[in-house]
Amino acid sequence: MADGSNGIVKKSLEDLATSRARGLGRKVLGLLERWSAEDEPLGGEVGNIMTRGVASCSGNDSLHRAAQIMWDRDCGAVPVVDAEGRAVGLVTDRDLCMAAYTRGRPLSAISVSSMLAGRLHTCSARTSIDEAMARMSHHRVRRLVVIDPNNQRLVGMLALADVARHLTALGPTHRQAPARLAALLAALSQPGSRSPDSGQRPSNDRNGVAAE
């Protein structure tokens, strides 16, 4: 009986600790967001820091092809485009892992299109870096697909790594750059987030393009 009671007490304490940790995390995130909201704009546009010339795949390609691109390009995500080069989705390394685990088939037998779900989060090369960071934080995504807003064609990718490098370089001249990066990382690290980058495809809202 004592062992059972001890187990209940231990479980209650663990749940309490987890709850307090989440509460503390939310408070820290709130403080960082309020601090960042008072900052002066970082300035600059996505086109200045994004990755250009990214490799892409089509919905008809297999996940094996997407994995090959990730290996060759040393990246964790590949944009999906249609025959006209318009961005229609994003497949990630997590998608490959989940497909291999849940489908019971080799990646060469699974199409990229079968893994696309959710909304594709985008921006243009002219989007401000501040706005791009706000979108990443709000939607809890580590990547934005950069498109030409006139025709939806793929232009490049903006990843968390691009933002981090830029803010690190700004550090000596922009005193709040480290806090802005910390706030973004805190937002992306919130408990309960299930890698929303995975399997993105456009929504019906303006062809899936976030408003400029």
Give the full edge-to-edge strand order of the sheet including 122-123.
Answer: 51-52, 154-159, 143-147, 122-123
- The more confidently predicted of residues 64 and 37 is 64
| 210 has pLDDT over 50 | no
Q: Which residues is 58 bridged to in the sheet?
A: 81
State percent of the chain over pLDDT 70: 72
Question: Rounded to the nearest 10 degrees, how much is the dihedral formed by the CA atoms of 118, 123, 209, 196?
Answer: 10
- 3-state class (DSSP) for residue 40: coil
pLDDT band for position 49 (50/70/90)? Answer: very high
The label of the residue with tokens 């001890």 reads: 6
Quick one: average pLDDT of 158-186?
89
Quick one: average pLDDT of 97-116?
92
Query: In the Cβ-directed half-sphere of 39, how many Cα atoms lie within 13 Å?
Result: 20
- The more confidently predicted of residues 37 and 153 is 153
- Domain residue ranges of the chain, discontinuous segments joined by +: 39-55+82-89+118-208
The label of the residue with tokens 């995975």 reads: 198
**Could you give the CA distance from residue 97 to residue 107 in angstroms, rounded to a whole number?**
9
| Per-residue confidence (pLDDT) for residue 42, from 0 to 100 | 82
Core vs surface per residue 106-130: b (16+ CB within 10 A) or e: ebeebbbeebbebbbbbbbbebbbb
Decide which of 3.40.50.720, 2.60.120.260, 3.10.580.10, 3.40.50.300 is the CATH code for 39-55+82-89+118-208: 3.10.580.10
**Could you give the CA distance from residue 9 to residue 23 in angstroms, rounded to a whole number?**
21
What mean pLDDT is reported for the chain? 81
**What is the DSSP-derived secondary structure letter of residue 120?**
P
| Helix residue spans in the chain (DSSP H) | 2-37, 63-73, 93-102, 129-139, 160-170, 177-188
